[in-house]
């Protein structure tokens, strides 16, 4: 008598090797997910760890620089320039607007008081520049840098060289 053994069959009569391949795929996908999670977690730890270490160093550096440059406890106050809304120049006559809000960083506390006193003249110097901007001038990564440089140059023209140290843009909205 001959012993007949039947191979296990699936529903369609094909040999049932699919579970082995399915297990291999599952193991590979699980391993890939574990590697991605470990890499993401390590990357987040690295970024957050260095960010917090750098922020402590960055917080200490300006305080030391301010105390050594201006004397102990002297800090310069930022000068807030009111938000301005201007029309942009367009070729087709479309109505486009720019809203910009920024702050001026004076070199010293005394320069800060002088900047506050001459703020109307500084805003008047900004108006022609801002009204001549086109939407294309605001495109790209370098646009904000160019605008900051021009605003700083015009503030220095009004105040004198070395009175205004930087321009901090708070809002720059094109509509």
Task: Convert the pLDDT of each residue in 68-87 to its tens digit.
Answer: 444 444 567 899 999 999 99
Give residue 45's pLDDT: 67
The Cβ-side half-sphere exposure at 107, using a 13 Å CA radius, reads: 12
Written as six digits, the tokens of 130 are: 């801002």
How far is 141 from 40, CA to CA, in rounded Å? 28
- pLDDT band at residue 141 under the 50/70/90 scheme: confident
Give residue 26's pLDDT: 82
- pLDDT > 60? residue 17: no
List the strands of the sheet with 164-174, edge to edge: 79-87, 97-106, 164-174
| Spatial CB neighbours of 58, under 8 Å, sequence gap ≥ 6 | none
Task: Tell me the whole-structure pTM to 2 decimals.
Answer: 0.56
Convert 123-135 to b/e letters by CB count within 10 Å (16 or more is b): bebbeeebeebee
């Amino acid at each position: 008598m001959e012993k007949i053994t039947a191979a296990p069959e699936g529903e369609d009569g094909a040999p049932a090797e699919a579970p082995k391949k399915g297990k291999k795929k599952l193991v590979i996908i699980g391993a890939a997910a574990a590697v991605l999670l470990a890499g993401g977690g390590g990357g987040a730890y690295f970024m957050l760890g260095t960010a917090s270490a750098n922020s402590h160093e960055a917080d200490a550096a300006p305080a030391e620089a301010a105390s050594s440059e201006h004397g102990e406890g002297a800090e310069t106050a930022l000068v807030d320039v009111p938000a301005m809304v201007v029309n942009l120049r367009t070729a087709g006559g479309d109505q486009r607007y720019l809203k910009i809000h920024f702050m001026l960083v004076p070199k010293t506390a005394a320069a800060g008081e002088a900047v506050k006193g001459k703020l109307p003249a500084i805003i008047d110097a900004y108006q022609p520049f801002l009204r001549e901007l086109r939407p294309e001038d605001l495109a790209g990564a370098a646009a904000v840098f160019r605008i900051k440089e021009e605003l700083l140059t015009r503030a220095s023209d009004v105040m004198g060289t070395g009175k205004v140290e930087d321009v901090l843009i708070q809002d720059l909205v094109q509509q």
